[in-house]
């Protein structure tokens, strides 16, 4: 689907019936985990007319740090800049709530996502070995790579 320019899309806090579970589960296949961190106050959806075409979820880690727990764009709408726009929106929302850094974790096998975050200015700051083996029931394999470890990346909203 061809989207209008991203700045013409509505970015909104979702009503309960607008939570895009299909999108959230594409970024994180564990419904239990998503339910654990989903806070509508820190969730935003992108709407094209009545259709939800993107979503992100933040979680507060400390007074000055938020974690991006989930970000997803509807498959038919990818590659048009909406993911980048939502990522920037998430950084702005976090900064408005006092963040100086925003962290995110992705799988060692998620090569596209590692590129997506680094192109946006995130830096790799660590690895949690075996995170996905220990926390997910089903094995995850992407591009022939078993997803075992969580790569941690951070964006300094206000570099000191």
Under the rule (CB under 6 A), what is the footprint of ligand COA? 26-27, 71-73, 78-84, 106, 110, 112-113, 115-116, 119
The distance of closest approach from Cβ of residue 147 to ligand COA in the complex, given in angstroms and rounded to an integer, is 11
- CB nearer to ligand COA: give 115 or 129: 115
The distance of closest approach from Cβ of residue 113 to ligand COA in the complex, given in angstroms and rounded to an integer, is 4
The distance of closest approach from Cβ of residue 87 to ligand COA in the complex, given in angstroms and rounded to an integer, is 7
- CB nearer to ligand COA: give 47 or 84: 84
Distance between the two ends of the chain, CA-based, in angstroms? 41
In the chain, which residue ranges form alpha helices assigned H by DSSP? 21-27, 31-37, 82-96, 111-119, 131-135
The distance of closest approach from Cβ of residue 15 to ligand COA in the complex, given in angstroms and rounded to an integer, is 22
The distance of closest approach from Cβ of residue 100 to ligand COA in the complex, given in angstroms and rounded to an integer, is 22
- CB nearer to ligand COA: give 98 or 142: 142
Q: Cβ-count burial of 30 within 10 angstroms (0-12 exposed, 13-18 middle, 19+ buried)?
A: middle
117/102 Cα distance (integer angstroms): 11
3-state secondary structure of 128: strand
3-state secondary structure of 10: strand
- CB nearer to ligand COA: give 78 or 100: 78
114/112 Cα distance (integer angstroms): 5
Both structure tokens of 74: 């509807």
Residue nearest ligand COA by beta-carbon distance: 83
- CB nearer to ligand COA: give 71 or 99: 71
């Amino acid at each position: 689907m061809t989207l209008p320019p991203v700045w013409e899309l509505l970015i909104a806090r979702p009503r309960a019936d607008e939570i895009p579970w299909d999108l959230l589960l594409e970024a994180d296949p564990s419904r239990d985990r998503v339910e654990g961190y989903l806070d509508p106050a820190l969730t935003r959806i992108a709407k094209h007319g009545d259709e939800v075409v993107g979503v992100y979820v933040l979680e507060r880690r400390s007074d000055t740090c938020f974690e991006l727990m989930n970000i997803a764009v509807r498959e038919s709408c990818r590659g048009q800049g909406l993911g980048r726009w939502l990522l920037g929106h998430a950084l702005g929302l976090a900064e408005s709530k006092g963040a100086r850094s925003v962290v995110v974790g992705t799988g060692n096998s998620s090569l596209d996502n590692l590129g997506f975050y680094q192109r946006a200015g995130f830096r790799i700051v660590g690895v949690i070995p075996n995170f996905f083996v220990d926390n997910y029931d089903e094995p995850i394999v992407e591009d022939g790579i078993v997803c075992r470890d969580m790569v941690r990346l951070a964006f300094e909203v206000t570099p000191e």
